């Protein structure tokens, strides 16, 4: 790979906001592995990003050269449906406080992490970045999506009005070490891993999954996302967001079979077709990122195996639910 056109000096200060979440923790690991020596972190107990005065004091004191904004109020479908006001209000406050103050103190480089849920419910497949704001959102998480869209536009406006060298990235469905395995609130891949593991442990002959198993989904290992974050900070400086994914998808039926093989579950898998399937397909167009020179390096088979190994190591200690189902990660 050619030298980075926008190199991040390894001795300059970087703040990873949200370092205890799935994404932030992976970014922290990647930066440390890359030799960054001045990384700043704060827990949500130490710094409430919804508190404008606290954020201003922190950034005025620390004055980081670069910021990775991975902090957010997060939760599954049930949490989004039950608390749309909090998902909108908290995320808007976090973004406004961090972005406005970062501009005021002169943060040189900033990466805002959005979500693929910003795209319309019926966007073309694969979903290009140009699909943004072209149609209605998925109603189950529209408050969260609107907040993330506002953050993306805030970054774009800061570039245009003040010349800030800030960028935005939109990751696809993520998984990996540190994921949320709480069955009430987890996403599909960690839920499949835990349910299949528990079915094997109790010797269940049959495991029932919702839907037909035909919807197609894309999955990106969080360590690949972290690698892409650093790559973008060093190779991209543009107004438009950049999708981050694998460019590949799989059916949920194929995913369930892979999980069963990984876990060692040998019972029958039954699909309850009376339950809803959701969106038939959700795949990001990653041609912009590919043209820049980056592609994912962890295939789904190895990624699932690594995630299951992490789950087995940490589930007995309660760490496998370390990413809160409904909270603000600072």
Residues assigned a catalytic role: 144
Q: Residue with structure tokens 């039926």?
A: 253
19 annotated ligand-binding residue: yes
Residue 21 marked as a ligand binder: yes
How far, in Å, CA of 254 to CA of 175, rounded?
16
Known binder of ligand: residue 277?
yes
Instruction: Name the E strands within the chain.
Output: 14-17, 39-40, 66-69, 73-75, 109-113, 165-171, 173-175, 206-210, 216-217, 219-221, 242-244, 250-251, 268-272, 281-282, 326-328
DSSP-derived 3-state class of residue 98: helix
238 marked among binding-site residues: no
273 in a known ligand binding site: no
Tokens 């309850």 correspond to what residue?
272
User: CA–CA separation, 100 vs 158, rounded Å?
Assistant: 9
142 marked ligand binding residue: no
Rg (C-alpha) for the chain, rounded Å, is 20
217 is in an annotated binding site: yes
User: Does 202 belong to an annotated binding site?
Assistant: no
Separation CA 64–CA 44 (nearest Å): 18
User: CA angle 273-275-281, nearest 5°?
Assistant: 85
171 annotated to bind ligand: yes
152 is in an annotated binding site: no
272 annotated to a ligand binding site: no
Residue 93 labeled ligand binder = no
| Residue 193 CA from chain centroid, whole number | 19
Going by the annotation, the residues of the binding site for NADP(+) are 18-24, 113-116, 148, 171-174, 187
Going by the annotation, the residues of the binding site are 18-24, 113-116, 148, 171-174, 187, 195, 210, 217, 277
Going by the annotation, the residues of the binding site for substrate are 195, 210, 217, 277
């Amino acid at each position: 790979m050619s030298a980075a056109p926008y190199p991040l000096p390894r001795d300059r200060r970087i703040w990873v906001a949200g370092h205890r979440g799935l994404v932030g923790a992976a970014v922290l690991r990647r930066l440390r592995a890359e030799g960054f020596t001045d990384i700043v972190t704060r827990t949500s107990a130490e710094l409430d990003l919804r508190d404008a005065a606290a954020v201003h004091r922190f950034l005025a004191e620390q004055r980081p050269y670069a910021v990775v904004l991975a902090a957010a109020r997060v939760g599954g479908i049930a949490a989004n449906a039950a608390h749309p006001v909090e998902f909108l209000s908290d995320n808007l406050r976090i973004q406004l406080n961090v972005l406005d103050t970062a501009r005021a103190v002169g943060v040189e480089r900033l990466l805002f992490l959005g979500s693929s849920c910003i795209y319309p419910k019926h966007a073309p497949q694969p979903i290009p970045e140009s699909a943004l704001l072209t149609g209605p959102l998925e109603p189950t998480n529209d408050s969260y999506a609107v907040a993330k869209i506002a953050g993306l536009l805030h970054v774009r406006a800061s570039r245009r009005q003040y010349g800030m060298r800030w960028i935005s990235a939109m990751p696809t469905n993520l998984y990996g070490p540190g994921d949320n395995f709480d069955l009430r609130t987890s996403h599909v891949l960690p839920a499949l891993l835990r349910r299949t593991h528990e079915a094997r442990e109790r010797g269940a002959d049959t495991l029932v999954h919702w839907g037909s198993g035909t919807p197609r989904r894309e999955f990106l290992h969080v360590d690949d996302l972290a690698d892409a974050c650093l790559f973008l900070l060093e190779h991209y400086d543009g107004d438009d967001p950049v999708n981050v994914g694998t460019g590949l998808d799989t059916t949920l039926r194929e995913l369930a079979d892979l999980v069963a093989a990984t876990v060692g579950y040998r019972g029958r898998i039954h699909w309850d077709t009376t339950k809803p399937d959701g969106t038939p397909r959700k795949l990001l167009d990653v041609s912009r990122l590919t043209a820049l020179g980056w592609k994912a390096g962890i295939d789904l088979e190895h990624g699932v195996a690594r995630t299951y190994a992490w789950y087995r190591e940490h589930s007995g200690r309660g760490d496998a639910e370390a990413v809160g189902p409904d909270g603000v990660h600072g």
